[in-house]
Every structure is written in structure tokens, then in C-alpha cells.
Structure 1
Amino acid sequence: MSLETGDLAVDDESDSSDYLVFLGAIGVPANEYVIWETPPDDNDITIATRNRAYGEDEEVVEAAYLEDVKRSLADWDINEIVEWHDEGELEDHGVRVYGFPESRLSSASAGDEG
């Protein structure tokens, strides 16, 4: 993957031009990253369930929408965002973290690379 922690990324499946702050790979495959837990009789909803065009064993990466970061945190820097994510505290600061199949995100500056 060409993204590094703290890079701006885009969601290749979205019609929106919103940027995401790439927070890193978490070492969990899409079929094990649970989005919603369900009753014992049902299968949990995972990243793989919601992203069938991607491999079930594809690694999940996490990111936060840049606008959410700006809206929730008046003064912030990327190192602080990454640190809070690594410590599991970013959502405590009002920033929602999303999981994506690794290949679904690309660099926001990919079109500028030559």
C-alpha cells in the first residue's frame, strides 16, 4: 500500500470528494473486523459483509474523515490524531473511525504523482 499513517486518502467507492486521514493498517482481515454485533443466531456484520467486491481476507485499514476531525477538534495536528487513534482514544474526542478494505482507499495526491 502506498499510503502512510497521516496521509490524506480518498474512498474509491464514494461519489463524495471528502478526504480521509489515513490512520493505518490494523492487522485484521475484513471477515473478522466486526461493524455490528448481532444476536447469537445471526452472523455479525463485518467489513467483508459490507464490501463484497473485495476479498474476505483483505486487511482492514482505518481512517477518519478530515471534516470530522476539523469539526470535532479546534486545534489539532496529525501526530496527535494518530497518537489518539493508536491509544484507542480518537472516538473519545468526537472523531469517528471507519474501517475499509485496504485496496478501497488511495492517496488523495495520487493524481499528482508522476
Structure 2
Amino acid sequence: MTSATRVPLPMASTGCACCAPTPAPDQTAPTAETAPPAGTATVYRVEGMTCGHCATSVTEELTALDGVTDVHIDLVAGGASTVTITADRPLAPEAVRAAVEEAGYTLVTV
């Protein structure tokens, strides 16, 4: 049996944050200028979500509402999840309820 020279394979990705290479000078971290626009943030509670797919469905329905700029969900599987909606103007509670119900979930508080 002959010994072969082993050649390491290239990594498929840059790895996690602790072992990723430092960014090139032209690839700086996002600045405050690239942050999402400020707006009115309203917190709701939604029941029935159990996974990331559920959260994605709710997010898609809510971002389709006119004026919504951001949706953040703190998922609580088996409980009421906190949904924070940022919009450039106040949203009608009925519109939020309809969007959540369209996704298949229940809005607990308005």
C-alpha cells in the first residue's frame, strides 16, 4: 500500500462567527443608516404557532398589510407568542386580526 498525499477540501462555508475570516475593508458592518426605518411598534399576542414555519406564515400575512415595515416574533411553542409589528402609521386592529386569522392562528389581545 502506498501512502497518498492528503489534500484538504475547501470549506463549504465561512463557518460560524467565531471562526469566520474578518471582513475585507470594503465589507464593513451595517451602519445606523441601513437600519430599518423607525415607526410605530405595537405588540400583540398570538396563539397556535409552534414552529418557524408558523412564524413565517404569520410574518408573510402581516407584512402584506399596508404600512408594515417590520415584524418580529418571539415564538412560544404551545403558548401565546409575542408579535411586534412596526408600521409607518397605526394599523387597524381588525386588519391585524384578519391577517393573523388568514395565516391560521388566533390573535389573543389587541
The TM-score with structure 2 as length reference comes to 0.26
Considering only CA atoms, is the larger Rg found in Structure 1 or Structure 2? 2
Q: Tell which has more relative contact order, 1 or 2 (C-alpha 8 A, sep 6+).
A: 1
Bigger share in strand: 1
The TM-score with structure 1 as length reference comes to 0.25
